[in-house]
Amino acid sequence: MSLWSLIFTNLRRHRVRTAIGAMGIALGVATMLSVVGLLGGAVKMFERILRNDAEMVVFEKNVSDLFFSNVPVALVDELERQPFVKEAQPVLFAIVTAPDRPVVTCFGIRAEDGRLKKAEWLSGSADAFHGEDVVLGERAADFLEAKAGDEVELGQGRHKVAGVVRMENGFENGGVFMPLAACQKAFHKEGFSSVVTVALAEGHESKDVKEWIHTEHPEMTALENEEFSRSYSQFKIIKSTAWVVGGCAFLLGGLSVTNTMILSVFSRIKEIAIARVCGFSRAQVAGMIFGESLAVCAFGILGGWLLSMGGLRLLQTIPQLQGYIEPNIGWQELSGAAALAVGTSLVGALYPAWYAARLNPAQALRFE
């Protein structure tokens, strides 16, 4: 018999109380993992839109949002003339409205852009992608109730549907692909794209592009995909928001642990007093309370992890969300949530442990 067996015996004999405490932590962990996982997944999806077989992305310096970035399309030709560039592709991002759909993402791209070549064509073909015709992602075709050959109303214009494609990426699958020139015209951005993706020629490094951009186009910036992900302020905001929302959930979880541990201490004041009479030091009593809190926390972490995995799986099966939900829960997220849970539990147990440790055993034995 050890201190841990005392701890587990106490938790076992108050199963409901233990379960409530663990549930508080579990909800915190589940909320954090779900929010972080979902938003992390969304960020990853957006990163893949930018990547599209390219290693770098060029955009206007110091813009907070890529939708506000204006990169002259002439830069594409200049870039493609450089020996260190294998291919450069302009992409114009825009948001357009459609009947009953306030937000539809629109991608202005060239016909030779790799994303259409790689897509699974459900109807139509890339040959028809010209003029003002559009290609719809499968989900977009669903909610716009359109098929190849139909006309769809997007913003202030009507566009013929050249084809429908199935994309792996949820954003692209729910988006509309428009020929770059038509997109520029529709959004009054003639001659500009939002970004230019750059694939490097073999044997060349990203610094060649960076140096060239820095010298020739100082109003632009060129970043490797990883650098972009780390530095793009929108991603930072999204990630920070996820951790803050999750952290708030933990505050509630922490209160639940505090409540559980206070109840645990108050309901056995005499037992704690007897333990002290039997030779338990204050540190041992506090250790027992912290141990109980950590054990509750461990159950909570496990429960929260299972809850979030189950919940996210469930979300992925909802047809309307398919493709949009791509949770990204790795060891980093799990460790972060677990560390927060442990921290919350320890802080939550501080007052109960302090109270229990400073109990005067003689007075506590008289406690009714």
The two tokens of residue 317 are 């099966």
C-alpha closest to that of 194 among 53, 95, 81:
95
**Interactions with other proteins, residue window 45-64 (CB under 8 A):** none
The amino acid at residue 172 is E
**Rounded distance, CA 29 to CA 297, Å?**
10
Nearer to other proteins by Cβ, of 11 and 33: the residue is 11
The amino acid at residue 27 is L
Tell the smallest beta-carbon distance from residue 267 to other proteins (Å).
Answer: 12
Tell the smallest beta-carbon distance from residue 251 to other proteins (Å).
Answer: 32
Determine the size of the site formed for other proteins (CB under 8 A).
Answer: 27
Tell the smallest beta-carbon distance from residue 337 to other proteins (Å).
Answer: 32
Our finding on whether 70 is near other proteins (CB under 8 A) is no
Our finding on whether 16 is near other proteins (CB under 8 A) is no
Q: What per-residue string of b and e applies to 233-268 under the rule 16 or more CB within 10 Å gives b?
A: eebeebeeebbeebeebbeebbebbbbbbbebbeeb
C-alpha closest to that of 49 among 102, 98, 97, 93:
93
Nearer to other proteins by Cβ, of 3 and 251: the residue is 3
Our finding on whether 7 is near other proteins (CB under 8 A) is no
**Interactions with other proteins, residue window 133-172 (CB under 8 A):** none
Identify any residues that bridge with 193 across adjacent strands, giving them in sequence order.
71
Contacting residue, 9, 231, 241, 320, with other proteins by CB under 8 A: 9
Tell the smallest beta-carbon distance from residue 7 to other proteins (Å).
Answer: 11
Nearer to other proteins by Cβ, of 12 and 81: the residue is 12
The two tokens of residue 21 are 């405490």
Nearer to other proteins by Cβ, of 106 and 275: the residue is 275
Site string for other proteins, 342-361 (x = CB under 8 A): ------------------xx
Beta strands in the chain (DSSP E): 56-60, 71-72, 85-98, 101-109, 120-124, 134-137, 151-154, 157-166, 176-179, 192-193, 195-200, 220-224
Nearer to other proteins by Cβ, of 210 and 282: the residue is 282
Our finding on whether 13 is near other proteins (CB under 8 A) is yes
Nearer to other proteins by Cβ, of 169 and 264: the residue is 264
**Interactions with other proteins, residue window 263-292 (CB under 8 A):** 268, 270-271, 273-282, 284
Are residues 341 and 249 in contact, defined by beta-carbon separation less than 8 angstroms? no
Q: Is 274 helix (H, G, I), strand (E, B) or coil?
A: helix
Distance between alpha carbon 176 and the CA centroid of its chain, in Å?
23
Our finding on whether 362 is near other proteins (CB under 8 A) is yes
Pairing outcome for strands 157-166 and 120-124: antiparallel
Tell the smallest beta-carbon distance from residue 5 to other proteins (Å).
Answer: 7
Give the residues lining the site for other proteins (CB under 8 A). 1-3, 5-6, 9-10, 12-13, 268, 270-271, 273-282, 284, 360-362, 365
